[in-house]
Structure 1
Amino acid sequence: MDLWEKNLKENFGSAVVDKSKAIKNEIRGLPRYVSEYLLGFFCEGEINKENLKEANDYIHEHRIDAREKEVFKHKLVRNGSLKLIDKFKVKINLNKSKNKTKLMEIPSLGINDAEVDDEILERNDRLMIDGLWGMGELIYRENDKEISLVKFKPFQLSEIDLEELVEVRRNFTSEEWLNIMISTVGLNYENYSRREKIILLSRLIPMVENNIFMMEFGRPGTGKTYAYENISSYSRVISGSQVTGAQLFYNLNTKQDGLLVQYDVLLFDEIDKIQKTGMHEDVLNKLYQYLASGKFDRGGVERVSECSIMMVGNLPTGEFREELLLARLLHPTNLNAAFLDRLAGVVPGWELKSLRNPEKSYTKHHGFAADYFSEIIHKLRRKNYNYITNRVSLKEATIRDSDAINKMLSGLIKLIYPNGEIFDNELEELIETAISFRQFVIDQNYAINKDSIFDKKISYEILD
């Protein structure tokens, strides 16, 4: 272990794992944050052949293959009880025509109306928000043909101390902390320059900032969706334009809130493919409304959300030029000045190399366990660094420019300097990064729409 790894382990204990072993022995069929939680539980201290076998046997016994759900239902009916690993979720039903107020979903069994003990809900309120992975004990009551969850052990941390991380951050240099963050994501920091490390972490800005809209374009295999799929239970990846208004906003039939209300951030993958098909008009119009105000209405139902949006896509084939990039990659309906102005910034993923050799691409070092980091970045959304961002005076910037740059700057501070202790030269580095992301949008908007208000260059000054 490097010195910073030992320091990290000493300060955070079981919240730190050997990421190389965790990735190599990842439990298939489970999200990374669940896999690492279970590996940490069974392999406390060291991952070896014996405890890996114990972990995998445990999961094989209690995890249901989709083809076997009727077999497990039969076991439940025959034995009266069943232990099961799944992502459980509870909806509260206020419809007077139905006698149940709590409806629990058990996806692997295809059940959406099971019962759950109140005591379990009181201890695990996230069951009623976005659901929780865990081990549940079910019972089947023959008399009324009901299934109930009577015991539950979550496989995700419910509470962490953010202030502990803020306090311990001062024990590391900014370079060491960058290495910790890159290793936590699962990548080998030795492959990247400082600039590239900051670009990699910029992908996470929508995870730590409310109501921000960003994009990234890069070569295939650079890991654009990797972090969103593996390190946070508060993010959701959507493929291309395959989402309806009911899924995204509000379902008028089921009266259920859509994904924008359920998650911290949504990532739209393969956004370049929408260039050919475009989003459904109903979705696009309400998305415009949401990106401008943080709220939307559907069928007379209005909702407010803090969910951020990230859109990622691959670069066009052939020679790559930045001029008119968005014109080549976005559908014409997404190229009007108003839509582009709502875009806070574009992360230059084209500066990053593709991940080709797993032995060299993935980290060989320690980092935060995915379930711990998931909770950290969720809580960082509530952190306020206005006392730092207010020190920056922007020139030639509109209100929307300033808001976008300040949010991206705030996000980078949260990820790299969460204790708020930052020198002027470090602050300049992050300001220039945030401005460059925004300036790219401004330049594209001017090149596409020829509006003179976008013919400008933003500069800045740091105030005392």
Structure 2
Amino acid sequence: MTNLEDALGEIDVLATAEAIDISPTKSALDDKINEYFAGAVVRKDLVKSVRGNAVVPTYVLEYLLGQYAASDDEATIQAGIETVRQILATHYVNRNQHMLVKSEIRRKGRHRVIDKVTVTLNEKNDVHEAEFENLQVKEVIIDDVTVKQNPKLLVGGVWCICDIEYFHSDDQRVVPWILGSLKPIQVAGVDIDHYYEARKAFTTEEWIDLLMQSIGLNPGQFNERGKLIALTRLIPFVERNYNVVELGPKGTGKSHTFSEFSPNGILISGGEVTAAKLFVNNASGRIGLVGYWDCVAFDEFAANRRTDQNLVNVMKNYLANKSFSRGTSIYGAEASMAFIGNTTHTVPYMLKNSDLFDELPDAYRDPAWLDRIHHYIPGWEVAPIRSEMFSTGYGFVVDYLAEILRAKRVEDYADKYEKHFTLDTSISTRDQDGIRKTFSGLMKLVHPTGEASEEEIRALLEFSIEGRKRVKDSILRIDATMRENPVKFRYSDHAGTWTDVVSLEENQYPHLYQRDWGTQPAGSIAEESPGQTRPSVTADGGVPSTAETGTTHTEVPLIEGHRDFKAGQKGVSYESLILPYLRGASTVTITDPYIRMPYQGRNLADLLSLLAAAKDVADEIDVTIVTSEETRVEYKQNQLLMLKSIKDASDAVGVQLKVRFDETIHDRRIEASNGWRIDLGKGLDIWQRPSDNPFDFGRNRQEFRLIASAFSVHYVRVDTQDEACDSPGHT
């Protein structure tokens, strides 16, 4: 064990050492990805390197990178980047330079362009005509065979690589533009058997991280629950007729997956769709978007206040029956639907005043329409997108993964949980359908062969049940008559043990969640030992502050026992979690092996400032922090200087801080001379990293931060007060 002063003596050596290369390096997972999926993966940060001013979806750029830079060899990557840049510079049509490109085509007679192409039928002349979005030319004749091979050209358009020719005619009715060739930007085919075989080489955690990197997200910035939420956005691409809603704050990347990820999905504004465009045009008999796309996503859906009741009615039938009637005909389709919108109120506000569908237009708050939704993604649990949340590792070329997911739409994994678990019989058929479809989609994503352990299946099943329960409970708020047949969202294993599933917001705000029917949600309060008395608790399950209770701190009852917290939860602070158990202590020892990064140092400083504010101004408290020293030389100096700064600030306000380094520690705990020991499952680092917004309230108030991953805290009363700080290895 060494102290901070000894470690600080090494700073001069570090400062004069030769500069260290800390450029990003491949991880062990990256090496594994390249070994098993060579040619089908690309380094995700390359997209920014080649995008420039090309306003194209990510899958277009990754298609090109997959052709020229799908390698882990740096020389090949750099050569591929230059090739892609050259292709974009030469062939991509920038909208504000369309005249320059037209002139180039006229000069050369023939030129290759990358543009989005949409086709319409000219009924008067009985021909199909193509329109080029950025090039701004239209009425270009396209042959029927090409249209038949690429039907999406007729609905929404497709990004393509095309050869355009120019031939002027004195006949003013003749368009001078001629389509020489057209190739949609998408992979030709995938070997799904190889995909299955390679999956066996990855653990479940590794595979989930690979999928996260494939959609452009850094898995190191997300907890397990956050990863599941991100992957749920992919279910509409792998599951037929899947209906999902995601409502949450702005800037959390809700629409990114649907706009950038797949050429098999289309993102449209919620206010720009009609029954004719979405389903079928009665006048022409032409089927709409649902007939051609795997997923139709509605952006800004909550902001659409215009109501087309006919659209609502047709959609209601389609969401339930996978079919719709227009005129005298009945049509079927397989497109999934995703409804994305922003929330303007907090979760507790919605629970207190309305429901979690509060932001939707009134026409869509119809219980019959909402009952067709299979899963509600809690967008408020997703942190705002920050630069470090984007992946720099390797992931599937998104077009490759999109084709894999499309191929798996024909499969059904909905019954895979039945080998281990049984749903409660009170769960209705429609509720079961939502649970089973979400579970099936997650299984296809995480366990594509359909094989998984009992605990892996349990995790996916619970998440699926929670998402459907969130839908159902909101419907019960809107329509009280549906409460006549109570539902127990629970499941049992084959040993007959029942497990209740509750949503995070139900667990966090029980007094608001059940305000209309007055029942306590199962699992909302941790079990107590016989004879114990539970103290008053706040909405977050914490011990109330003086301001909340109107009592002094000495009147707050403290108990032995444990408290559990879930990932994504808010309202948790050191003031309610730790401080009540440290009051009156003259010495405190904090053991946490991870006080290395700036935000971890911020957590320690926050706790020390609470101790300083709670003590008498004339008193001093001795605090010892036992942690481990950063092993990476390039970061070690920063850690030591950070701890020195915290010590200087702490000493100045009467909290005398000593820092000890011990490389053997693993447990995280706080021991105080007042006779209390607090065992911290995750240590002090319990929240997600702060956002880039300097005015984010979470920077100054811990209650506004999101819990990073589930953890438990145990409070233990030791035999003597002296024992608290005299455990082996502590100073």
What is the TM-score with the length of structure 2 in the denominator? 0.58
State which structure, 1 or 2, has the greater radius of gyration over its C-alpha atoms.
Answer: 2
Q: Which whole-Å CA distance do the structure 2 matches of 1:454 and 1:60 have between them?
A: 63
Q: Is the 8 A contact 2:294 2:336 kept in 1?
A: yes
How far residue 411 of structure 1 moved from its aligned partner, in angstroms, is 0.4
Partner of 1:86: 115
Q: Is the 8 A contact 2:151 2:292 kept in 1?
A: no
Q: Which amino acid aligns with 1:388?
A: K
How far residue 196 of structure 1 moved from its aligned partner, in angstroms, is 1.6
How far residue 197 of structure 1 moved from its aligned partner, in angstroms, is 0.9
Q: Is the 8 A contact 2:49 2:81 kept in 1?
A: no
| TM-superposition CA deviations, 1:74-100 (whole Å, max 9, x none) | 55455432322123355677x6x6353
How far residue 71 of structure 1 moved from its aligned partner, in angstroms, is 5.0
How far residue 278 of structure 1 moved from its aligned partner, in angstroms, is 4.2
Match of 2:412 among 337, 362, 384: 384
Q: Which whole-Å CA distance do the structure 1 matches of 2:264 and 2:275 have between them?
A: 20
1:4 aligns with 2:60: no
How far residue 133 of structure 1 moved from its aligned partner, in angstroms, is 2.6
Partner of 2:510: none
> Comparing 144-153 with 442-451, which one deviates more in the overlay?
144-153
Q: Which amino acid aligns with 1:88?
A: V
How far residue 23 of structure 1 moved from its aligned partner, in angstroms, is 3.9
1:65 aligns with 2:94: yes
Match of 2:56 among 3, 27, 30: 30
**Relative contact order, higher structure (CA 8 A, sep 6+):** 1
How far residue 393 of structure 1 moved from its aligned partner, in angstroms, is 2.8
| TM-superposition CA deviations, 1:117-168 (whole Å, max 9, x none) | 6786787676578754332112345568464433344432031122221221
> Comparing 284-293 with 52-61, which one deviates more in the overlay?
52-61
Match of 2:463 among 433, 445, 448: 433
1:137 aligns with 2:176: no
Seen in structure 2, the aligned counterparts of structure 1 residues 301 and 66 have a Cα distance that, compared at 3 Å, is farther
Q: Which whole-Å CA distance do the structure 1 matches of 2:402 and 2:231 have between them?
A: 14
Structure 2: runs of 5 or more not aligned: 1-25, 496-731
Partner of 1:458: 489
Matches within 5 A, 1:174-185: 174-185=204-215
1:21 aligns with 2:52: no
> Comparing 429-438 with 39-48, which one deviates more in the overlay?
39-48
Q: Which whole-Å CA distance do the structure 1 matches of 2:212 and 2:239 have between them?
A: 19
How far residue 312 of structure 1 moved from its aligned partner, in angstroms, is 1.8
Q: Is the 8 A contact 1:188 1:361 kept in 2?
A: yes
Match of 1:280 among 308, 314, 326: 308
1:158 aligns with 2:184: no
How far residue 39 of structure 1 moved from its aligned partner, in angstroms, is 2.6
Q: Is the 8 A contact 1:180 1:367 kept in 2?
A: yes
How far residue 419 of structure 1 moved from its aligned partner, in angstroms, is 1.4
Q: Which amino acid aligns with 2:125?
A: K
Q: Is the 8 A contact 1:18 1:365 kept in 2?
A: yes
Match of 1:305 among 301, 322, 333: 333
How far residue 295 of structure 1 moved from its aligned partner, in angstroms, is 1.4
Seen in structure 2, the aligned counterparts of structure 1 residues 269 and 19 have a Cα distance that, compared at 3 Å, is same
Q: Which amino acid aligns with 2:278?
A: L
Match of 1:98 among 88, 105, 125: 125
Q: Which whole-Å CA distance do the structure 1 matches of 2:455 and 2:440 have between them?
A: 16
> Comparing 31-40 with 47-56, which one deviates more in the overlay?
47-56
Q: Is the 8 A contact 2:347 2:356 kept in 1?
A: no
Q: Which whole-Å CA distance do the structure 2 matches of 1:83 and 1:373 have between them?
A: 27
The percentage of aligned residue pairs carrying the same residue is 30
Q: Is the 8 A contact 2:44 2:394 kept in 1?
A: yes
Seen in structure 2, the aligned counterparts of structure 1 residues 340 and 131 have a Cα distance that, compared at 3 Å, is closer
Partner of 1:418: 448
| TM-superposition CA deviations, 1:418-461 (whole Å, max 9, x none) | 11110111111111110011111111111221122463222223
Q: Is the 8 A contact 1:199 1:347 kept in 2?
A: yes
Q: Which whole-Å CA distance do the structure 2 matches of 1:437 and 1:422 have between them?
A: 21
Q: Which amino acid aligns with 1:189?
A: P
| TM-superposition CA deviations, 1:335-385 (whole Å, max 9, x none) | 232112111121122222111x31x11112111112212212222212222
Seen in structure 2, the aligned counterparts of structure 1 residues 24 and 62 have a Cα distance that, compared at 3 Å, is closer
Q: Which whole-Å CA distance do the structure 2 matches of 1:122 and 1:352 have between them?
A: 41
Match of 1:55 among 72, 84, 88: 84
Partner of 1:171: helix, strand, or coil? coil
| TM-superposition CA deviations, 1:370-421 (whole Å, max 9, x none) | 2212212222212222451554532111111111111000000011111111
Seen in structure 2, the aligned counterparts of structure 1 residues 365 and 50 have a Cα distance that, compared at 3 Å, is closer
Q: Is the 8 A contact 1:138 1:148 kept in 2?
A: yes
Match of 2:323 among 292, 295, 298: 295
How far residue 214 of structure 1 moved from its aligned partner, in angstroms, is 1.2
Q: Which whole-Å CA distance do the structure 2 matches of 1:307 and 1:168 have between them?
A: 29
Q: Is the 8 A contact 1:130 1:262 kept in 2?
A: no
Q: Is the 8 A contact 1:345 1:404 kept in 2?
A: yes
What is the root-mean-square deviation of aligned Cα atoms in Å? 2.9
Seen in structure 2, the aligned counterparts of structure 1 residues 271 and 155 have a Cα distance that, compared at 3 Å, is closer
Partner of 1:139: helix, strand, or coil? strand
In the alignment of these two chains, the number of paired residues is 457
What is the TM-score with the length of structure 1 in the denominator? 0.88
Q: Which amino acid aligns with 2:113?
A: L
Q: Is the 8 A contact 1:43 1:51 kept in 2?
A: yes
Q: Which amino acid aligns with 2:223?
A: S
How far residue 112 of structure 1 moved from its aligned partner, in angstroms, is 4.8
Partner of 1:394: 423
Seen in structure 2, the aligned counterparts of structure 1 residues 151 and 273 have a Cα distance that, compared at 3 Å, is closer
Partner of 2:141: 115
Partner of 1:433: helix, strand, or coil? helix
Seen in structure 2, the aligned counterparts of structure 1 residues 321 and 462 have a Cα distance that, compared at 3 Å, is farther
Q: Which whole-Å CA distance do the structure 2 matches of 1:411 and 1:69 have between them?
A: 42
Q: Which whole-Å CA distance do the structure 2 matches of 1:5 and 1:67 have between them?
A: 39
Matches within 5 A, 1:336-355: 336-355=366-385
Seen in structure 2, the aligned counterparts of structure 1 residues 454 and 163 have a Cα distance that, compared at 3 Å, is farther
Q: Which whole-Å CA distance do the structure 2 matches of 1:207 and 1:305 have between them?
A: 14
Partner of 2:342: 314
Q: Which amino acid aligns with 2:339?
A: M
Q: Is the 8 A contact 2:415 2:436 kept in 1?
A: no
Seen in structure 2, the aligned counterparts of structure 1 residues 141 and 180 have a Cα distance that, compared at 3 Å, is same
Q: Is the 8 A contact 2:152 2:293 kept in 1?
A: no
Seen in structure 2, the aligned counterparts of structure 1 residues 253 and 117 have a Cα distance that, compared at 3 Å, is closer
Q: Which whole-Å CA distance do the structure 2 matches of 1:151 and 1:125 have between them?
A: 16
> Comparing 68-77 with 449-458, which one deviates more in the overlay?
68-77
Q: Is the 8 A contact 2:46 2:81 kept in 1?
A: no
Q: Is the 8 A contact 2:41 2:70 kept in 1?
A: no
Seen in structure 2, the aligned counterparts of structure 1 residues 118 and 241 have a Cα distance that, compared at 3 Å, is closer
Q: Which whole-Å CA distance do the structure 2 matches of 1:244 and 1:461 have between them?
A: 44
